[in-house]
Amino acid sequence: MKIYFACSIRGGRDDAALYAELAQHITDRATLLTEIFADNKLTADGMNKPSPEIWSTDIAWIHEADAVIAEVTNPSLGVGYEIAKAEEWSKPVLALFRGDGSHKLSAMIDGSPNCKTVRYDTLPNAKSAIDAFIKAFSAKSQIER
């Protein structure tokens, strides 16, 4: 199973350590296409590449992915765009939102019938949500074969 992990980059890297933990958890269970996004060295300036190249690379990864897992606590236009593309291409999407009261979840993500939103309060809860999402996707894939 190939996973595209989406998280805030230019929208802010305050949760970079959390992203790294989630990315490692995904890597232990599936092929993670976007390990670079969880790199603590990545700043809010993003990758040192032209925007069209970043767009092309990310779109190719989303297209290649079997599913998308997005940490959506820190608002990000890019993550919203990536989720929309995944939905357009009928890819399962898990949106993880840390409900600590410091942010508000976008109604477009929360209200989407094609995006499973999970509110979590601890890292183990987020990891459990990832495990359940991957297990459900794997079971569905087995049935469709």
Dihedral angle of Cα 64, 68, 137, 24, to the nearest 10 degrees: 100
* pLDDT at residue 15 tops 60: yes
Q: How many angstroms separate the CA atoms of 105 and 71, rounded? A: 11
42 vs 97, more confident: 97
User: For 38-89, how does the pLDDT look when each residue is reduced to its tens digit (9 = 90+)?
Assistant: 666 654 555 667 889 889 999 999 999 999 999 999 888 999 999 999 999 9
Half-sphere exposure of 27 (CA within 13 A, CB side): 12
User: Torsion angle of alpha carbons 18, 84, 36, 103, nearest 10°?
Assistant: -30
Q: How do residues 98-143 score in pLDDT, each as one tens digit? A: 988 888 999 999 999 999 999 999 999 999 999 999 999 887 765 6
Helix, strand, or coil (residue 49): coil
Give CA angle at 14 (109, 20), nearest 5°.
80
Give the pLDDT score at 8. 83
The per-residue pLDDT for 17 is: 86
Q: 54-71 burial, b for 16+ CB within 10 Å, e for fewer? A: beeebeebbeebbbbbbb
The CATH number of domain 2-144, selected from 3.40.50.450, 1.20.1250.20, 3.30.70.1520, 3.40.50.970: 3.40.50.450
Instruction: Report the alpha-carbon distance of residue 101 to residue 31 in Å, rounded.
Output: 32
Return the domain boundaries, the chain.
Answer: 2-144
**Ramachandran angles phi, psi of 16, nearest 5°:** -55, -40
What global pTM score does this model have? 0.89
